[in-house]
């Protein structure tokens, strides 16, 4: 199972939110590149970079930080937040993203998102399927859609999607443990999907459980920043 630390960006700074609420913002570091380099120094190869300013606006915002991290580290970056047009996607890839994650766009403009899958390939496009009571949430989680989570994932599987990042919003940033039951259900019903678990990771012991479930990767955010899981522990998990 791949270990994928998260860096969420607001105003160029590394922050975390709780349950996607922008009013709960905590700034953990003024320098996202410094954070990315510390991950790389501990053998981590992947990074989940989220442009929270972009998620709230009508376009990509923090692409310069993506470019900076891509230029000064060898991390394979998946980038999300605010990707709403062909030009946003072009900017993201030109700035060094290995993959992009589309969440709101996959709900609100299916035609465009399906075009991206066809153009760039399913190894480059990740479906962001963030859930609130098994309904898909959009617009930086500021609104719910009427889409049921698992049929939504299955539908995009038929369109060629391989990778899905699923965050249970109720768990995100709460350090209360991930949604094991939800992930088991997704893996059972959307057979063959490469599921990346996200939200609620709070202790190192949860990682082997997610691996046993069959998750392809896991995104870890606040647990690293709050010192619940050390980079040394992640380094050991990677080489196990």
- The residues carrying an active-site annotation are 8, 130
In sequence order, what are the beta bridge partners of 13? 10
The dihedrals phi and psi of 110, each to the nearest 5 degrees, come to: -60, -40
Handedness of CA 145, 197, 60, 93 (dihedral sign): negative
Written as one string, the DSSP assignment of 59-112 is: S---HHHHHHHHHH---EEEEESS--SHHHHHHHHHTT-SEEEESHHHHH-HHH
Report the 10 Å Cβ neighbour count for 133: 10
Helix (H) or strand (E) holding 72: helix 63-72
Handedness of CA 164, 113, 77, 221 (dihedral sign): negative
- Secondary structure of residue 137 in the 3-state scheme: strand
Ramachandran class of 179: left when φ > 0, alpha when ψ lies in -120 to 50, beta otherwise: beta
């Amino acid at each position: 199972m791949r270990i994928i630390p998260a860096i969420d960006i607001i105003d160029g700074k590394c922050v975390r939110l709780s349950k996607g609420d922008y009013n709960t913002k905590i700034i953990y570091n003024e320098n996202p590149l410094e954070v990315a380099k510390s991950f790389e120094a501990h053998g981590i190869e992947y990074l989940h970079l989220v442009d929270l300013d972009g998620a709230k606006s009508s376009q990509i915002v923090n692409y310069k930080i993506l470019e900076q991290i891509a230029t000064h580290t060898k991390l394979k970056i998946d980038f999300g937040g605010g990707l709403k047009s062909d030009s946003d996607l072009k900017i993201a890839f030109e700035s060094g993203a290995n993959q992009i994650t589309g969440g709101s766009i996959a709900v609100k403009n299916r035609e465009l998102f399906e075009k991206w899958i066809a153009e760039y390939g399913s190894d480059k496009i990740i479906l962001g399927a963030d859930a609130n009571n098994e309904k898909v949430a959009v617009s930086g989680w500021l609104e719910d859609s009427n889409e049921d989570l698992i049929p939504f994932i299955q539908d995009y599987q038929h369109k060629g999607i391989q990778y899905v990042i699923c965050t249970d919003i109720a768990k995100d940033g709460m350090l209360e443990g991930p949604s094991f039951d939800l992930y088991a259900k997704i893996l059972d019903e959307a057979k063959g999907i490469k599921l990346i678990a996200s939200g609620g990771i709070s202790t190192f012991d949860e990682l082997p459980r997610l691996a046993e479930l069959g998750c392809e990767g896991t995104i870890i955010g606040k647990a690293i920043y709050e010192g619940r899981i050390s980079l040394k522990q992640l380094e050991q998990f990677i080489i196990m």
